[in-house]
Amino acid sequence: MKTLMRKSVWLGLGLALALQGCSSLNPFSSGDKKLPALKPVASQIRLNDTWRVKVGASEAYTLQPVAVLDVIFAAGDDQVMRIEKRSRVWKTDVGAAVSGGVGADGENVLVATPKGEVVALAADTGKVRWRVRVGAEVLAAPAIVDGVVVVRASDGRLFGLELADGKQRWTYQRVLPPLAVRSAAGVVVDNKMVFVGFPGGKLVALNPQNGNLMWEGTVAVPKGTTELERVADIASLPVMGPKAACAVAYQGRLACFDPANGSVLWTRDISSAAGLDMDDKAVFVADDKGAIHALDLSTGASLWKQEQLVGRTPARPRVLGNYLVVADVEGIVHFLSRDDGAFVARQKTDGSPVLADPLRVNGEYVVQTRNGSVYGLAVQ
């Protein structure tokens, strides 16, 4: 294993892997093993690849495009781009590889670099407004809430920066376990609270104005005799709704909490590094084997399980419109019924993994591949 960041060893899941000889923890380390074949889909909807914009390869990073109304901001290599009406409006070279992004509101676009530099650009022109260093590699997209930029560094620290000039307002830090998953998961902002999952299985809610802890919940408890066995990290984004705040841990379990006070609603023993999503009735999660589960939002009871993506390393499933959308290691985008998990359509991209969350923008579905293609998919 490689030792990175202070005293912790970071196990890289996804494409940012720092593993030597630990292929069992590497979802993309299939070696000579052939990926399971996909069964034909009797398509219930017709998908068309309506447009494509090249933004630059993401290399070892998971770069998340973001939409503000019908405008898309995406990053790749060392550049940030605004896409509007299916075409590039501007492109800005930030002078370093982009490792964390993209965060945006109607006026600002935020990305970060492996050296811990956070860069703010004007949303309308792409002009750089400010740059600040937070002192550690940033793998996650910065978030914007009430005039504060919340940045998660890969050493476990969170920073609250002034949106106007990048000046540091607060820092939140926890003690990390000796072994932790290297993750591109950042923070989720909901109801003027910042939610973030940590190594060791803790989900916390913070006040974005001062970084103070509002509540803390235990998603998973580390178990086992070795440090490797005791890895129980929240390596994906939590999800929020009026009924529940939910998160899932690698080598752990899925847990849902009362978003107001952090009291536990229910838990299920499911391990996932890919992540989860929810609608008003169910929680959807991709487990570490690649099966997609739907669980009742109120009780955690199983509703359905789709196993055709086992071995194909699906990314985080996303509730978009009438469908559950999930992409796999070959860049194939699958559309599933939210009611029973049946496949209703699929669409190929450029053959490279799609790790970033799909988006729904102006009635189209938008995905970004590792090789740097941003696609717009339309349902006909």
**pLDDT per residue of the chain (380 residues) written in tens, 0 to 9:** 333 344 444 454 443 333 333 333 444 444 446 899 999 988 888 888 899 999 999 978 999 999 999 999 999 999 999 999 999 999 999 999 999 999 999 999 999 999 999 999 999 999 999 999 999 999 999 999 999 999 999 998 999 999 999 999 999 999 888 888 888 999 999 988 999 999 999 999 999 999 999 999 999 999 888 989 999 999 999 999 999 999 999 999 999 999 999 999 999 999 999 999 999 999 999 999 999 999 999 999 999 999 999 999 999 999 998 999 999 999 999 999 999 999 999 999 999 999 999 999 988 999 999 999 999 999 87
Strands 179-182 and 9-12, bridge-based pairing: parallel
In a domain, 3, yes or no: no
Host domain of residue 81: 9-31+42-379
The two tokens of residue 307 are: 């196993």
Phi, psi of 23 (to 5 degrees): -65, -20
pLDDT at 34: 85
Quote the pLDDT of residue 224.
87
Lookup: tokens for 61: 């990073």
Residue 332 in domain: yes
Residue 292 falls within a domain, yes or no? yes
CATH number at residue 16: 2.130.10.10
- Cβ neighbours of 171 (radius 10 Å): 13
Contact 263, 243 (CB under 8 A): no
Give CA–CA dist 189/108, Å, rounded. 16
**What does 171-198 look like in DSSP terms, one character per residue?**
EE--PPPSEEEE-----EEETTEEEEEE
* Paired tokens of 235: 């390596």
Q: Could you tell me if residue 156 is inside a domain?
A: yes
Q: Which residues on adjacent β-strands are paired with residue 180? A: 10
Q: Distance between alpha carbon 229 and the CA centroid of its chain, in Å?
A: 24
* 89-98 per-residue burial string, b: 16 or more CB within 10 A, e: under 16: ebebebeebb
Per the structure, the count of domains in the chain is 1
Here the contacts of 52-56 (C-beta below 8 Å, separation 24 or greater) are 52/373, 52/374, 52/375, 52/376, 53/81, 53/83, 53/86, 53/87, 53/88, 53/373, 53/374, 54/372, 54/373, 54/374, 55/79, 55/81, 55/368, 55/372, 55/373, 55/374, 56/372
Q: Is residue 281 part of a domain?
A: yes
pLDDT recorded at residue 182: 87
Does residue 37 lie in a domain region?
no
pLDDT of residue 179: 87
For residue 207 the two structure tokens come to 């006040």
Question: Is 4 inside any structural domain?
Answer: no
pLDDT at res. 11: 53
Question: Residue 81 domain-assigned?
Answer: yes
